[in-house]
Amino acid sequence: MVTGASGFVGGHLANRLLSLGAELRVLLRDDKTASAQKFKAMGASIVVGDLRDKIKVKEAACEQEYIFHIGAIFREAKFPDSVYYEVNVEGTRNLLESSKACQRFIYCSTNGVHGGKSDQMVDETAPFNPTDTYQRSKLEAENLVRDFAAKTGVKFSIIRPAMIWGDGDLRFKKLFRGVSRRQLPIIGTGKTWCHFISVHDLVESFLLAATKEQAIGEAYLIAGDRPVYLDYVYESIAKLAKVSVLPVGVPVWPLQILGDIVEAICLPLGLEPPIHRRRADFFIKHRIFDTSKAKRELGFKPQLTFEQECQMLFEWYKSQGYLA
């Protein structure tokens, strides 16, 4: 059973499980979408509901051997803090209480529970230092999983992905389009560490965690083959687009100030800001992860290099007309 199957990561996981012949059940808020119809056509059963709905969550999780909890409210500035806790924390509690009989419970968390501002490589022993509501809610949910397992004996694993990208993801569309059109200069110094993970490699890590005995009760940082500097990300996109990177960079502080102003205007109106500080922080916040534990205990090995990941997303954006 997969939560969040209508989303980017959960959708890829659901498709992978169905391709392997799994008897799949998904919890979706809407069964009329194209992805829902695709799941139905591939033989999945669908329960329509929300993680906050205990009855629907119980119906979805009932008698399922493997629970992959991917669903969450990601960073959407239009939501108040309370929604993050209702969905990410209490929704996890609802799912756990309905999963006492499952063989394995795999929880998708975030690398952000460690903070990640240092230019030093971070591993699972790094202290927790969540810096926003989303990260704090994910850490609280992690603690729920651990406490519940200690009381009930449910076998769990926690996956903390690096920055996820791949076909179907729109979060990096503006970056790829801006560089491809030579409209987006490097913001900041360009020497910020970035560590991505292909959604396809991430999905394989979920399957490994669900099937390896060594994974029980453990948490794993999952990232791609190597971190790269932000300016190399620009150069890689530019090379694929057969253009050059704009020669002049801009400081990040005007973008941060603008983000604060736009958020202050949009949030009281319940609108998603087109720009906010978190997006500006992308250009200055280091992300660099040590995946030795996952390689050692799970046998995890990224199948794609950074360049292959970048090319896959570039070609998908191009095929969808997003770079024109």
Q: What's residue 33's pLDDT?
A: 87
Measured distance CA(271)–CA(254) in Å, rounded:
22
For the chain, which residues score pLDDT lower than 50? none
Query: What is the reported pLDDT for 252?
Result: 80
Please report, for the domain that includes residue 162, its CATH number: 3.40.50.720
Q: Residue 15: inside a domain, yes or no?
A: yes
Give me the domain span that covers residue 24. 2-170+196-224+289-303
Token couple for 42:
């591939």
- Residue 101 CA, distance from chain mean position: 27
pLDDT digits (tens, 9 = 90+) for 218-250: 999 999 999 999 999 999 999 999 999 998 888
* 3-state percent helix, strand, coil for the chain, nearest multiple of 5: 45, 15, 40
CA distance linking residue 276 with residue 259, whole number of Å: 4
> What would the pLDDT profile of 135-148 be if each residue is shown by its tens digit?
999 999 999 999 99
Which pLDDT score, from 0 to 100, does residue 309 have? 98
Give the pLDDT of residue 78. Answer: 62
Which residues pair with residue 194 across a beta bridge?
228
Handedness of CA 19, 173, 87, 282 (dihedral sign): positive
What per-residue confidence (pLDDT) applies to 126?
93
CA dihedral (267, 271, 273, 279) positive or negative: positive
Nearest CA to 156 out of 147, 164, 165 is that of: 147
Give the integer Cα–Cα distance in Å for 225 and 46. Answer: 35
- What pLDDT does residue 76 have? 64
pLDDT score, position 276 = 65
In a domain, 147, yes or no: yes
C-alpha atoms less than 13 angstroms from C-alpha of 44 in its C-beta half-sphere:
31
- The pLDDT value given to residue 77: 60
Q: Any idea what DSSP says for residue 214?
A: G
92: in domain: yes
Collapse the DSSP code of 324 into the 3-class scheme (helix H, G, I; strand E, B; otherwise coil) and give the result. Answer: coil
> Is 279 contained in some domain?
no
Strand partners, 28: 48
Q: Say if residues 73 and 84 touch (Cβ distance below 8 Å).
A: yes
Q: What is the mean pLDDT of the chain?
A: 92
Q: Which two tokens stand for residue 37?
A: 């119809």
Q: How far apart, in whole angstroms, are the C-alpha atoms of residue 130 and residue 76?
A: 17
In a domain, 189, yes or no: no
Total domains present in the chain:
1
